[in-house]
């Protein structure tokens, strides 16, 4: 059974840092692109970042570029999101998602349950 | 900044049909945008319904279908059930980055 379990969320002051983790199981983690998506309270989904299967290719939304870093440890089946210089507007539930990329297809198929990050003084 | 626009809300009767659309501020949506559609209920993570325009996941009910319609991506719910009441989001690919739509709240009444 495919499982994605996020952790690392919590309360942090503006300007602070936090590292989120997404533990994967039930599939060959090293074969998949992985993404982070966030959702502010009562708001819509926002794509944050992606990383390819070997970790060499990463992409970010403009709103987090230069502040967030996505990475992965395929030996530990874990995805990470290092978040620095946090702002109040980064407050959200952060989801990790598994993405299957084919020749002519992109499938976001499995999602974690999310971890809440609150940026407040 | 790219904006992906969906209808804010739609209401449909049980057993009825409703079509949600997903428009890009950059122009017509094509299959090269690999439209994905997600359903989200309160307090839950999103659940994938449709990927790459019109492909269904193994768990997607047959009453959901995806297409391209008038330069937009579209999600059609036919024979709507009460449990289809939810928020629906589209997602488009822009050559390296992705953008979610603004979301559509579907009410079954």
A26 φ/ψ angles, rounded to the nearest 5 degrees:
85, 5
Which chain A residue has its CA at the smallest distance from B90's CA? A45
B25-73 tens-digit pLDDT:
999 999 999 999 999 999 999 999 999 999 999 999 999 999 999 999 9
Stretch 26-85 of chain B: residues touching chain A, C-beta under 8 Å: 31, 34, 36, 38, 40, 45-48, 51-52, 55, 57
CB contacts, 8 Å: A44 with chain B: 87, 89, 100-103
Task: Give the C-alpha separation, A92 to A35, whole Å.
Answer: 15
Task: Give the C-alpha separation, A96 to A78, whole Å.
Answer: 11
Task: Give the C-alpha separation, A118 to A40, whole Å.
Answer: 10
Percent of chain A clearing pLDDT 90 (strictly above):
93
Residue listed under structure tokens 């994938």: B48
A71-80 tens-digit pLDDT:
999 999 999 9
For testing contact with chain B, the best of A40, A43, A44, A115 (most B CBs within 10 A): A44
Spatial neighbors of B97 by CB under 8 A, at least 6 apart, are A47, A59, A60, A61
Give the pLDDT mean for A50-70.
Answer: 97
B87-96 tens-digit pLDDT:
999 999 999 8
């Amino acid at each position: 059974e495919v499982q994605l379990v996020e952790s690392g969320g919590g309360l942090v002051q503006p300007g602070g840092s936090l590292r989120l983790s997404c533990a994967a199981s039930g599939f060959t983690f090293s074969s998949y692109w992985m993404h982070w998506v966030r959702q502010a309270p009562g708001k819509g989904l926002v794509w944050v970042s992606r990383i390819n299967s070997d970790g060499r290719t990463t992409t970010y939304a403009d709103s987090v570029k230069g502040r967030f870093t996505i990475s992965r440890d395929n030996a530990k089946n874990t995805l990470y999101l290092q978040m620095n210089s946090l702002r109040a507007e980064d407050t959200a539930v952060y989801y990790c998602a598994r993405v299957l990329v084919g020749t002519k297809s992109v499938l976001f198929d499995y999602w974690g349950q999310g971890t809440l990050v609150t940026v407040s003084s | 900044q790219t904006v992906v626009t969906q209808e804010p809300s739609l209401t449909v009767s049980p057993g009825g049909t409703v079509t949600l659309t997903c428009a890009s501020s950059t122009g017509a949506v094509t299959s090269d945008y690999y439209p994905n559609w997600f359903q989200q209920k309160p307090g839950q993570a999103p659940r994938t319904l449709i990927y790459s325009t019109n492909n269904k996941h193994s768990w997607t009910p047959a009453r959901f279908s995806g297409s391209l319609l008038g330069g937009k991506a579209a999600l059609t719910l036919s024979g709507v059930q009460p449990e289809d009441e939810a928020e629906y989001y589209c997602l488009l690919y822009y050559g390296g980055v992705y953008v979610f739509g603004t979301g559509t709240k579907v009410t079954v009444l």
